[in-house]
Structure 1
Amino acid sequence: MDIVPPENGLDDMPLLKRRRVSDCAARSCEASRFASSSSAILKHLWFPEGDIVLDIEQRLLKVHRKRLRCSVIFSDMLHIPQPSPSETDRIDGCPSVTLVGDALADWEVVFGWIYQKSDFLAKAVTFDILSGALRISTKYEIAELRQWAVTELLSRWPVDVANMRLNALPHAAEAINLAQECALPEILPSCFYALSVQKFHCSADGGRSHIVLSPNDLRRLIAGREALQDALVRVVIDPLTEPGCYNNASCGTCAPRRVEYWRTRLAPDPKSPWSTWLVRELEQMLRDDAFVGTLCSDCVHGHLSTIRWRHGRLRGAIPGFFLL
């Protein structure tokens, strides 16, 4: 964070132009020097009674120091003894701070939370809101806001991929980058899995992941898709044989029906925007009472045991599939 030079007053111009206070002969040079980097007031975050000015992407925000104390970084900075007003650069009578590398949109999200928390929490949560809140709360150590963002992200990309739902599909690639930027590795398996089930030729996030992801993460995605495809093929080729599962016996009458059932359930749908969502299909098969009711009592146990075995092993293997 850099302290910016002092500004002119607000009465005579819509833009506050940066310049250093010096003798009269130097003022015209200094005004010209900073004219190219003039910053405009952001009206909805310019509070007349505010006591600190933030310059973010050449927009000026006049806010309250006490509101910024939710941040460990700002709290520490504001506790440092301040120079006298005559020794500091000021805008509209307030000390000014330039926040380098921050996005104005991210800070607008954060100030929505700071100033109108109840309204903020009542709004629909978009990915842009989540990403802005997480980036700023991580960088400036705003613990409460970060915890809110983490909780929301985990509801979309849970630690256990079995709990992943359709809302995990949009923005999965962006979520991978966000998780790495903001130290949230817990969501990575679900993010990669959400991308892997999407068909790249469809107009979905998977189709543009190569634009968003780094080469290393693209490699992870491709490796995971191949591993999932191999797992699916093994099941389709031999649905009733699962090494390590010792309770999957089937009688001669039920075996053909079970084979057909597995192959039909796991066959990709060419009209669907995603490929076989294997974890979800196995979950739904466990609850398919209609089919279970067609099996003899001896085969029911073997059928359900095989599904549970495959479901559990797959959930545990997915992070490794994506080289995580």
Structure 2
Amino acid sequence: MSCTSSSMDIVPDDTFNDFAPLSKRRRVSDCSRSCEDSSCAPLKKFWFPDGDIVLEIQTRLLKVHRRRLQCSVIFSDMLHIPQPFETDQIDGCPSVALVGDALADWEVALAWIYHHDEFLNQVVTFDILSGALRISTKYEIPGLRRWAIEELSSRWPVDVVSMRLNALPHAAEAITLAQECNVPEILPAAFYALSVQKFHASADGGRSHLVLSPNDLRRLIAGREALQDALLRIAVDPLTEPGCANNAACAHCAPRRAEYWRARLAPDPKSPWSTWLVRELDWMLRDDAFAGTLCPACFHGHMSTIKWRLGRLRGAMPGFFLL
């Protein structure tokens, strides 16, 4: 098992090489150390006197309970392997150093493990989401991973029409996190949320080149170009959509319909984002005030055109971003 312990001699097994959460530490003659002897300091809120295992993360010590850690497939497997009698200990407990992990991420995971109800009722920030997903993915904690994916999907839903303003912050980080932790279902919405933001603004769009990989930055640019092309086609000819079954437009309603489309989809120079095409089309479907002014034939043509364009965008969004 490649999950080698800093304080436990684990039999190597290539099966878990992708995880490698624990690193082997040099054996010392005195196997038992106190927390005062360690170069790390105890983290009080996760230092339980009756704990039976110590986690060393960055420069902090966490004394927790083995039974609590067994919600993790990786820890459950590791802790069921018999250990040699002489293993390095801290405060009378076996210790493991979680090399490469962030303390903040583990604080999220342990809050979910120890204070489950409070955890579920808190305000969920992106840092909490990312920490939960990274630890639950690396150490295989199914319940925590499901929760994190559900929360991510509520911000970056599969159906981009359901996306709201809370999808705009951290969109670039969400893309990187989804790639790292294998959550591809949020990628179209996260890319779309980032693509509508103006790059000259001091928001996510303006710093996406610092967060995204070169491949993902290429996807973002390709998607922005595809969306701009779609918007331009509508601006040039608002009333005609090839393939749409009903494009009826009478001489009386046609000029007002064309003006309506162009006005609704025109970018607002004062807005921090460009035309949010999917959202605008969704709102236009519910704009009864304007639709009610059209003759029956133009009403059906107007609604059919909106639905057709919205459906096409929904289906094309992953392809726009080369997903």
Q: Same fold (TM over 0.5)?
A: yes
Contact 1:56 1:104 (C-alpha < 8 Å) held by counterparts: yes
Residue 283 of structure 1 corresponds to 282
Q: Which moved more, 1:41-50 or 1:307-316?
A: 41-50
Q: Does 1:22 align with 2:29?
A: yes
CA distance in 1, matches of 2:109, 2:84: 28
Contact 2:132 2:144 (C-alpha < 8 Å) held by counterparts: yes
Residue 108 of structure 1 corresponds to 107
The CA deviation at 1:297 is 1.0
Residue 41 of structure 1 corresponds to 42
Residue 4 of structure 1 corresponds to 6
Equivalences for residues 230-309 of structure 1 within 5 A: 230-309=229-308
- Taking a change above 3 Å as real, the CA distance of residues 4 and 246 of structure 1, as seen in their structure-2 partners, is closer
Residue 14 of structure 1 corresponds to none
Deviation digits for residues 4-29 of structure 1, max 9, x if unmatched?
369xxxxxxxxxxx985438xxx9xx
The CA deviation at 1:47 is 0.8
Q: TM-score, normalised by structure 1?
A: 0.90
Amino acid at match of 1:4: S
Secondary structure of the residue that 1:198 maps to in structure 2? Answer: coil
CA distance in 2, matches of 1:5, 1:65: 15
Contact 1:2 1:98 (C-alpha < 8 Å) held by counterparts: no
Q: Does 1:160 align with 2:167?
A: no
Residue 227 of structure 1 corresponds to 226
Q: Percent same amino acid among aligned pairs?
A: 78
Equivalences for residues 206-221 of structure 1 within 5 A: 206-221=205-220
The CA deviation at 1:43 is 1.7
Residue 315 of structure 1 corresponds to 314
Contact 2:198 2:273 (C-alpha < 8 Å) held by counterparts: yes
Residue 11 of structure 2 corresponds to none
* Largest Rg, 1 or 2: 1
Secondary structure of the residue that 1:244 maps to in structure 2? Answer: coil
Secondary structure of the residue that 1:217 maps to in structure 2? Answer: helix
Deviation digits for residues 184-237 of structure 1, max 9, x if unmatched?
000000000000000111121111101101111111101100110000000000
Contact 2:155 2:163 (C-alpha < 8 Å) held by counterparts: yes
The CA deviation at 1:246 is 2.2
Residue 125 of structure 2 corresponds to 126
- Taking a change above 3 Å as real, the CA distance of residues 231 and 19 of structure 1, as seen in their structure-2 partners, is closer
Secondary structure of the residue that 1:152 maps to in structure 2? Answer: helix
Gaps of 5+ in 2: 9-24
The CA deviation at 1:40 is 1.6
Contact 2:53 2:95 (C-alpha < 8 Å) held by counterparts: yes
Amino acid at match of 2:124: V
CA distance in 1, matches of 2:136, 2:236: 49
Contact 1:50 1:64 (C-alpha < 8 Å) held by counterparts: yes
Contact 1:5 1:90 (C-alpha < 8 Å) held by counterparts: yes
CA distance in 1, matches of 2:297, 2:6: 78
Secondary structure of the residue that 1:3 maps to in structure 2? Answer: coil
Gaps of 5+ in 1: 7-17
CA distance in 1, matches of 2:239, 2:245: 11
CA distance in 1, matches of 2:294, 2:236: 21
CA distance in 1, matches of 2:26, 2:146: 40
Aligned-residue CA RMSD (Å): 1.8
Residue 10 of structure 1 corresponds to none
Residue 75 of structure 1 corresponds to 76
The CA deviation at 1:2 is 4.4
Contact 1:41 1:61 (C-alpha < 8 Å) held by counterparts: yes
The CA deviation at 1:78 is 0.8
The CA deviation at 1:82 is 2.2
CA distance in 2, matches of 1:111, 1:21: 29
Deviation digits for residues 160-193 of structure 1, max 9, x if unmatched?
1111110000000000000000000000000000
CA distance in 1, matches of 2:205, 2:75: 39
CA distance in 1, matches of 2:6, 2:258: 72
